[in-house]
Amino acid sequence: MGRRVLLIEDEPNIIEAISFVLGRDGWDVHTHANGATATEAVLRVMPDVLVLDVMLPGKSGYDILRELRAAPRTRDLPILLLTARGQSRDRDLAEELGASRFMAKPFSNAEVLESIRELAGLPPGEAP
């Protein structure tokens, strides 16, 4: 398999769709659904790109993002933040906390794939 992506999301249909699209593109996809243990999952997997939902059980994606940016090992990890709330204040907070990219739900699978490939620094057409 290629590069690792960790998807921290609690909605099964989103997990399935993103995992399928990324797996088909050659990514080694890991998933996690609990905000309370998300930081530990990131440290265990050490993904090339993290896809992080904002609304998670146990801890919000914003709090997880804050923790990851404060830690030396994950300070520069590319993070795509997903949220059902796409208001400007949500985008501003995501940017302030250090999200690499912000995407509001609903989104297209192609949009997620393109964003992850860009965050990983992959040129168009190159396998992960």
The pLDDT value recorded for residue 125 is: 74
38 or 91, greater pLDDT: 38
19 by Cβ neighbours in 10 Å (0-12 / 13-18 / 19+) ranks as middle
Give pLDDT tens digits for 73-86. Answer: 999 999 999 998 76
Domains of the chain: 4-114 (3.40.50.2300)
**Which tokens hold the place of 32?**
């996690």
Sign of the C-alpha dihedral, residues 50, 54, 56, 58? positive
The pLDDT value recorded for residue 128 is: 85
Residue 119 has pLDDT above 90, yes or no: yes
**Which tokens hold the place of 108?**
């297209």
The pLDDT value recorded for residue 1 is: 47
The pLDDT value recorded for residue 81 is: 97
Q: Which of 113, 109, 111, 128 is nearest to 13 (CA)?
A: 109
**Which tokens hold the place of 95?**
């940017």
Least confident of 22-26, 79-83, 97-101, 105-109: 105-109
26 SS3 class: coil
The pLDDT value recorded for residue 124 is: 75
Give pLDDT tens digits for 18-59. Answer: 999 999 999 999 999 999 999 999 999 999 999 999 999 999
**Which tokens hold the place of 38?**
């998300």
pTM: 0.94
